[in-house]
Amino acid sequence: MFSVSRLIIGSSSALDGFTAFAAEYFVLFAGVIVLRAWLRPQGLRAVLAMCAGAIAGLLVGDAVSHVWAEARPFVAGHFSPLVQHSPDASFPSHHLIVLGAVAAGAKHASRLLGVAAVLLAVVVAVSRVYAGLHYWVDVVGGFAIGYAFATLAWWAALPLRPVLSRFNSVFARVKLRPGAASRR
């Protein structure tokens, strides 16, 4: 696969610096989205879906990367990426698997949080492609895997609503879910 990253890395030190930071660390902003989702009325189920989707997606992604072991753009193109990375398989992007799971769960907690998670995923995806770490199929595929597994987890938790309601009550009593406490 051809990588445009090789042609544009180094064209702007400011852009390269921002992109390197975003490619490596912006995934951590998903924690803010998870915390905000936790405080919403459907927060417990949404966060469970995010966690289950991310874990299942990462397990499947790891298995897929052993079967479809495409070289990363910086390995195939023989150039230095903006961010140090091991030369393991390119597909799928683990960062985007996690962000896909967060986006799916966040969407169920709040439409605005879902949009914020998708925008964060877009920035991380573009940054990881620009940095020479992934191809477009890697980031889109990773996002789709995480999103699909979190959506499955959301619907799989539907029969557990009575149990989740009891947990919500416990969390409200110990003030771990302010959103749950306000619904008493």
**CA nearest 95: which of 152, 34, 23, 21?**
23
The whole model's pTM is what? 0.84
Give domain status of residue 125, yes or no: yes
Per-residue pLDDT at 10? 55
Whether 4 is in a domain gets the answer: no
16 within some domain: yes
Q: What share of the chain in percent tops pLDDT 70?
A: 83
Structurally, how many domains does the chain consist of? 1
Q: Is residue 155 included in any domain, yes or no? A: yes
pLDDT of residue 142: 96
pLDDT in tens, 42-79: 888 999 999 999 999 999 999 998 888 888 786 666 66
| Cβ burial, residue 147 (10 Å; 0-12/13-18/19+) | buried
pLDDT at 63: 94
70 lies in a domain?
yes
Residue 87 counted as domain residue:
yes
Full residue range of the structural domain in which residue 144 is found: 12-181
